Amino acid sequence: MSTASIPLTTGTRSPRTHAPAGAGLRGTLPHPRRLIEFGPHEGAHRVALRAGIAMAVPLGLLFAAGRLDLSLYAVFGAFTVLYGRSHSHVPRLRMQATAAVALVAAVVAGTAICTLPGREWIVVPAVAVVAVGTTFLSDALAWHPPGSLFFVFALAACASVPATAAAIPLALVLASASAAFGMLVSVVGLARPAARRVAPTSWRVSFAEAAARLGSGLGRRMLLVGVAVLVAGIVPTVSGLGHPYWAMVAAVAALGAADTAGHLLRAGHRVLGTVLGVALAAVLLAVAGGAPVLLVALVVLLQMAAELFVLRNYGLTVVFVTPLALIMAQLAHPVDEWGMLRDRTVETLLGAAVAVAASLAATALAARRRRVTTELRPTCGS
């Protein structure tokens, strides 16, 4: 039946029309085969190589100095190298400079929070604020990869590692130095004359345009990620799970897609990838036997593997990211391995579930709002 056959009069509600039960939900569900689909390679080996070098050098220096307990600060600064992967050198450098400022700020803020009493309750709202704020910045500054994931990860992880006030300036210096080195690695290709002849890619920055989108999609994304982080952080903190930040990171990761179907797909990838990744981590940790040089080598190789697949299949990426995150945590602050593996699994399931619930609730609320608006809309010219 066409909408023209439904009589509408000014100031009255239209007769209700109902979709079949579950039709709306079915419309948002991604097809299961999307879990195993692979995208194109698109020169991922170059990004992986840059990431490997940007990680290996600062970690190697810390290993030589016997200070791998500071490795988290260096690693999160090195994440700068991951930005602007599809851009030419100069626009990439400019994008990375903006991302580096935010990454270093997140590292320093997390380290500072770690020194405060009651940090486990301070970090949850702090991460929510960072998630909301960097979601806006990501849109305004056209970051690629988009979203708040790395900044949430940096703040929450650094806030979870015991530290004193003396670590704050160390965190600032190490994160800044690693970020600067990552930027250097990203533009070293300009030494080739052929690279200098490539037309620069476009990188458009506009805070005004982002602010104008606050009343629509961007504002909803910011609200969604903020609420999800709060819930995902509060539940494990109240229940006493060992690493609440993993639930917050999982929630943000699942909500990194553009729509509800994407959220569900990312949550599925996150859960399946984590289960396989935890198994891989158990094997790698057993093989490494706590040897620092082997753990450093594994961090570098796993980061490179993750970059090879991040645009091809996110689930496979998470298989490598999971042991990467766990080994990073062990380098900075060794804990019981089996307890860590358990917490990673449980909290990822929790974070993904919170993200899915939040996304579906937001979708249902938006659909209800559209129905009400349609029912109250007067007929033009009546």
Helices (H), 38-166: 44-65, 71-78, 89-114, 119-140, 149-160
pLDDT score of 65: 96
**What is the mean pLDDT of the segment spanning 340-352?**
95
Asked whether residue 25 carries a pLDDT value surpassing 80, the answer given is no
Domain count for the chain, please give it.
1
pLDDT range class, residue 349, cuts 50, 70, 90: very high
pLDDT range class, residue 17, cuts 50, 70, 90: very low
Asked whether residue 19 carries a pLDDT value surpassing 70, the answer given is no
Nearest to 167 by CA among 359, 343, 332, 360: 332
Q: What percent of the chain has pLDDT over 70?
A: 89
Residue 25 lies in a domain: no
Residue 51 lies in a domain: yes
Residue 4 lies in a domain: no
Asked whether residue 197 carries a pLDDT value surpassing 80, the answer given is no
Residue 380 lies in a domain: no
Q: What percent of the chain has pLDDT over 90?
A: 67
pLDDT score of 8: 35
The model's pLDDT over 163-174, given as tens digits with 9 standing for 90+, comes to 999 999 999 999
Q: What is the mean pLDDT of the chain?
A: 88
Cα dihedral 99→105→111→116 (10° resolution): -140
- Domain of 123 in residue numbering reads as 43-192+202-370
Task: Say if CB 199 and CB 87 are below 8 A apart.
Answer: no
**What is the mean pLDDT of the segment spanning 43-60?**
94
pLDDT score of 1: 41
More confident residue, 290 or 281: 281
Residue 326 lies in a domain: yes
More confident residue, 306 or 240: 306
Residue 123 lies in a domain: yes
**What is the mean pLDDT of the segment spanning 276-292?**
95
Residues 121 and 41: their CA atoms lie apart, in Å, by 42
Residue 15 lies in a domain: no
Residue 18 lies in a domain: no
Residues 159 and 157: their CA atoms lie apart, in Å, by 5
What's this model's pTM, rounded to 2 decimal places?
Answer: 0.88
**What is the mean pLDDT of the segment spanning 330-356?**
93
**What is the mean pLDDT of the segment spanning 137-157?**
96
Asked whether residue 201 carries a pLDDT value surpassing 90, the answer given is no
